[in-house]
């Protein structure tokens, strides 16, 4: 699961999950939680399930994105500096 603030390289986070199902559950929950806390709304993006944009809806607000990505390559399983693995 990748989470980032659009246009802000400092606002990046990725988490690894053992199953896609769990990643989808966490992504949806996190998107709605962030929207509630920030007073925003959640937009489901086109494409694969698990892609959300949290935004105020104002043209000047690029938003915050959460997306579940497939990991078919062993290299993507390397845990980076700010990553965490959930069982």
* Domain ranges for the chain: 2-72
Condensed to tens digits (0 to 9), the pLDDT of residues 6-62 reads 777 777 888 888 888 998 999 999 999 999 998 999 999 988 888 999 999 888 888
CB 76 within 8 A of CB 17: no
The pLDDT of residue 63 is above 70: yes
By DSSP bridging, strand 41-44 and strand 64-67 are unpaired
Task: List 17's β-bridge partners, or say none.
Answer: 86
Distance CA 82, CA 43 (A): 26
Evaluate if pTM is beyond 0.75: no
Q: What is the pLDDT of residue 70?
A: 78
Residue 64 reports pLDDT greater than 50:
yes
The whole-number pLDDT of residue 74 equals 62
């Amino acid at each position: 699961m990748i989470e980032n603030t659009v246009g802000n390289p400092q606002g990046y986070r990725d988490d690894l999950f053992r199953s896609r199902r769990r990643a989808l559950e966490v992504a949806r929950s996190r998107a709605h939680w962030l929207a509630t806390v920030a007073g925003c709304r959640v937009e489901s993006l086109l494409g694969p399930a698990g892609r959300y944009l949290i935004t105020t809806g104002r043209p000047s607000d690029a938003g915050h994105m959460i997306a579940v990505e497939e990991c078919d390559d062993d290299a993507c399983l390397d845990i980076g500096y700010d990553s965490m693995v959930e069982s």
